[in-house]
Amino acid sequence: MAVSKVSESIFEQFPGGVFPAACSSRVLLDHVTSKWGVLVLVSLTDGPQRWSELRRRAQGISEKMLAQTLKTLEADGLVDRDQKPVMPPRVDYSLTPLGEELAAVLVPLLRWVGRNSEEIIGATGPALPA
C-alpha cells in the first residue's frame, strides 16, 4: 500500500510523466544515480577526503572516471573542492549542504542494496537485459 501511495504522489507531482524528456531533472538524476556518483557521494559522508582516499573507497574507479565524476558533482553543487596553497599541492573534497542532503537519501539505498544483492544477483548471476 505504501508504495502505491508514494507512486500516486509522484505522478501527481509530474503529470506529464516522471521527469519528462525535456525536464532538466533527468540530467541531475543521471549524475546522482550513476554508480560512481553514488559511491563518491556516500564515501564523502565520512567527511572531507583527498583524491587517493576516494579512489581507494570507490574500488575499481579509474582516474579518468573519478576526475569526471568529481567535476560533475562539483558543477552540480553537491561536492566542494578545496585546494590548499601548500607544497605539495593538497586538494580535499567534501559534501556541500545539498550534497549532504542527497547522501542522506542514498545511504539507505546502499544499505538495501548491500542486504539484498546476494539474494537478487548472487544466486543467479547478473541479470541480463530483456
> 54, 43 in Cβ contact below 8 A?
yes
Q: What is the pLDDT of residue 97?
A: 98
**Per-residue pLDDT tens digits for 31-46:** 888 999 999 999 999 9
> 58, 39 in Cβ contact below 8 A?
yes
50 C-beta neighbours (distance < 10 Å), count: 12
Q: What is the pLDDT of residue 89?
A: 85
Q: How far is CA 130 from CA 33, 120, 127, in A?
A: 21, 16, 9
Find the range with the poorest average confidence among 62-71, 86-95, 118-127: 118-127
Find the range with the poorest average confidence among 1-10, 60-69, 73-82, 100-109: 1-10
- Across the beta sheet with 79-84, the strand order is 49-50, 90-95, 79-84
**Per-residue pLDDT tens digits for 72-102:** 999 999 999 999 888 888 999 999 999 999 9
Is the model more confident about 14 or about 120?
120
Nearest Cα to Cα of residue 44 among 102, 125, 111: 102
Calpha distance 12→18 (Å, rounded): 9
Three-state SS at 81? strand
What secondary structure letter does DSSP report for 92? E
